């Protein structure tokens, strides 16, 4: 669980924290406020207790969130289904709908609800807002939102491509237009959000026209532990031939596939040094990752026709120069030329890493989902 106390206008981070290993006896909280870091370690049984711990650490640092003039609490909610295209104030109806959507995001929405209900109880006077990870992709053109399966089955079970990481794709698209000093309505972008989860999007004039994630966050790029695109027949084949049940296949594709499935590691720093040491499995994992990434870049170049910039963001996108170099190697004929020195330079700021004569700009733009959520929540409450 990650949280921030952030000023929505200035972006100033007053406090931030992360709770790890929730459900374990050796869970931990690291809370930083006004430059000081407080730690807790011990048992934390569930997400409700994690939130209580966090509020307690705010208290200990001299901020009682119950009496401070907190404008809103913004919750990141993974699946908004067809119902939510915009942030909404938390109400009984919204909670019921987020709960109903749990069947589409069984790993995420139930946990999001625990957080929403705990905050309702712990901070009853502060307005709470749900910001949906799917919202930016709610209005995808129907040709990219539709799976070519029996349309009656799809309709009955709400099967379509929803897309995820929307808050990040939207924030980064806006920041890229600002960086280029262009009106967002005139800018076409390919956004590559490469973290532990990874997704690509094609954005035309500030609106998403395609994205790599689908009904769930499993589709698309190779990720830390998720397979991304596979032949769907693999699922039936494993069911019939390997006698794996649906839950076992689900767990394999989500938790022990992707980079981890191929080389046993999902942290890109470890994989990069394994590749440098000549590890064969890590090299194959890296090559499969880059191959898939290039496929999506190619698809979106064609999809958009005119592209102004390709934007890298999130943990891997912001910090792994080899991924940016190899993902865009030998694309000069498509107007994409990465400047090796600019690419290799370390920085936390938004930056251009393409050469001056690269027709398509290549940018690294740090994502900031917390600030994006805070701004959306503040805008709605105000
Ligand atoms: P998420 O929010 O999806 O958990 P992040 O955006 O925080 O993910 O990204 C996590 C990934 O970023 C990890 O695979 C991590 O190895 C990678 N990463 C972080 N720093 C670096 C770095 N300096 N070099 C390469 N990869 C990095």
> Residue 41: which H helix or E strand, with range?
strand 36-42
> Do 235 and 355 fall within a single domain?
yes
What single DSSP character describes residue 9?
T
Instruction: Tell me what the mean pLDDT of segment 39-53 comes to.
Output: 93
Question: Tokens for 235?
Answer: 């699922």
CA distances from 258 to 118, 262, 272 (A): 34, 6, 15
Instruction: Tell me what the mean pLDDT of segment 255-262 comes to.
Output: 97
Ligand 1: nearest atom to the Cα of 268: 16
What single DSSP character describes residue 71?
-
Between residues 34 and 72, which one has the greater pLDDT? 72
Measured torsion, CA atoms of residues 313, 315, 318, 320, in degrees rounded to the nearest 10: -130
pLDDT at 35: 87
Q: What's the Rg (C-alpha) of the chain?
A: 21
Whether pTM exceeds 0.85: yes
Per-residue pLDDT of 4-40, as tens digits, reads 999 999 999 999 999 999 999 999 999 999 889 999 9
> Do 14 and 83 fall within a single domain?
yes
> Do 116 and 188 fall within a single domain?
no
Q: How far is the CA of 364 from the centre of ligand 1 (A)?
A: 14
Q: What's phi and psi for 338, nearest 5 deg?
A: -85, 140
pLDDT at 221: 98
> Do 186 and 126 fall within a single domain?
no
pLDDT at 88: 98
- Last residue within a domain, chosen from 106, 121, 137: 137
Question: Tokens for 325?
Answer: 């170099």
Does 177 map to a domain?
no
> Residue 199: which H helix or E strand, with range?
strand 198-204
> Do 121 and 208 fall within a single domain?
no
CATH number for the domain spanning 61: value is 3.30.420.40
> Do 304 and 235 fall within a single domain?
yes
In angstroms, the CA 347 to CA 59 distance is: 34
Instruction: Tell me what the mean pLDDT of segment 161-165 comes to.
Output: 97
Catalytic residue among 24, 125, 133, 287: 133
> Do 115 and 193 fall within a single domain?
no
Decide: 179 and 189 in contact? Cβ < 8 Å. Answer: no
Instruction: Tell me what the mean pLDDT of segment 123-139 comes to.
Output: 96
The label of the residue with tokens 């901020």 reads 63
Domain range enclosing 14: 2-137
> Do 91 and 212 fall within a single domain?
no
Question: Tokens for 312?
Answer: 């890298």
Q: Calculate the average pLDDT of the chain.
A: 96
pLDDT at 67: 85
In angstroms, the CA 272 to CA 285 distance is: 10
pLDDT at 265: 96
Q: How far is the CA of 268 from the centre of ligand 1 (A)?
A: 6
CB-hemisphere CA count at 13 Å for 192?
33
> Do 113 and 201 fall within a single domain?
no
pLDDT at 66: 86
> Residue 76: which H helix or E strand, with range?
strand 73-77
> Do 125 and 217 fall within a single domain?
no
Per-residue pLDDT of 171-207, as tens digits, reads 999 999 999 999 999 999 999 999 999 999 999 999 9
Q: Which residues line ligand 1 (CB under 6 A)?
A: 195-197, 224, 267-269, 272, 314-316, 319-320
- Burial of 216-255, coded b for 16+ CB within 10 Å and e otherwise, reads bbbbbbbbbbbbbeeeeeebeebeeeeebeeeebbebbbe
Nearest CA to ligand 1 atom 4: 196
Question: Tokens for 87?
Answer: 């942030």
Q: How far is the CA of 365 from the centre of ligand 1 (A)?
A: 14
Decide: 353 and 148 in contact? Cβ < 8 Å. Answer: no
State how many domains the chain has: 2
- Last residue within a domain, chosen from 106, 137, 168: 137
Does 148 map to a domain?
no
> Do 298 and 211 fall within a single domain?
yes
What single DSSP character describes residue 224?
S
Which of helix, strand or coil describes residue 367?
Answer: coil
Decide: 362 and 352 in contact? Cβ < 8 Å. Answer: yes
> Do 129 and 276 fall within a single domain?
no
- Last residue within a domain, chosen from 75, 106, 137: 137
Catalytic annotation present for 99: no
Longest dimension (CA), the chain: 60
Instruction: Tell me what the mean pLDDT of segment 346-362 comes to.
Output: 97
Q: Is the pLDDT of residue 109 over 90?
A: yes
Q: With the C-alpha atoms ordered 153, 158, 164, 170, is the resulting torsion angle positive or negative?
A: positive
Percent of the chain with pLDDT over 90: 96
Per-residue pLDDT of 298-317, as tens digits, reads 999 999 999 999 999 999 99
């Amino acid at each position: 669980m990650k949280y921030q106390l952030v000023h929505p206008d200035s972006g100033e981070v007053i406090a931030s924290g992360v709770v790890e290993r929730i459900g374990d006896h050796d869970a931990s909280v690291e809370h930083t406020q006004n430059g000081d870091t407080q730690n807790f370690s011990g048992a934390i049984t569930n997400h409700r207790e994690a939130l209580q711990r966090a509020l307690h650490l705010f208290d200990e640092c001299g901020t009682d969130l119950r009496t401070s003039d907190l404008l809103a609490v913004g919750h990141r909610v993974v699946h908004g289904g067809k119902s939510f295209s915009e942030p909404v104030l938390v109400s009984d109806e919204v909670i019921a709908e987020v709960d109903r959507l749990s069947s589409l995001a069984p790993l995420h929405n139930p946990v999001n609800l625990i957080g929403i209900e705990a905050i309702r109880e712990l901070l009853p006077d502060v307005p709470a807002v749900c910001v949906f990870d799917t919202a930016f992709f709610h209005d995808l053109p129907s040709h990219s939102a539709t799976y070519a399966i029996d349309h009656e089955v799809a309709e009955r079970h709400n099967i379509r491509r929803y897309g995820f990481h929307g808050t990040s794709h939207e924030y980064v698209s806006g920041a890229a237009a600002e960086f280029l000093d262009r009106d967002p309505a005139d800018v076409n972008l390919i956004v590559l959000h490469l973290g532990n989860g990874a997704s690509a999007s094609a954005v035309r004039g500030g609106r998403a026209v395609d994205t790599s994630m689908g009904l769930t966050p499993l589709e698309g790029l190779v990720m830390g532990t998720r397979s991304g695109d596979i032949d769907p027949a693999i699922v039936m084949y494993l069911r019939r031939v390997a006698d794996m049940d649906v839950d076992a296949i689900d767990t394999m594709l989500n938790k022990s596939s992707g980079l981890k499935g191929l080389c046993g590691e999902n942290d890109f720093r470890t994989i990069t040094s394994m590749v440098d040491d000549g590890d064969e499995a890590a090299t194959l994992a890296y090559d499969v990752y880059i191959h898939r990434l290039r496929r999506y870049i190619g698809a979106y170049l064609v999809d958009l026709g005119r592209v102004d910039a390709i934007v890298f963001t999130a943990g891997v996108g912001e910090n792994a120069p080899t991924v940016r170099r190899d993902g865009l190697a030998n694309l000069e004929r498509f107007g994409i030329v990465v400047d090796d020195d600019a690419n290799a330079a370390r920085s936390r700021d938004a930056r251009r890493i393409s050469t001056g004569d690269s027709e398509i700009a290549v940018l690294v733009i740090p994502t900031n989902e917390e600030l994006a959520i805070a701004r959306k929540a503040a805008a709605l409450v105000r």
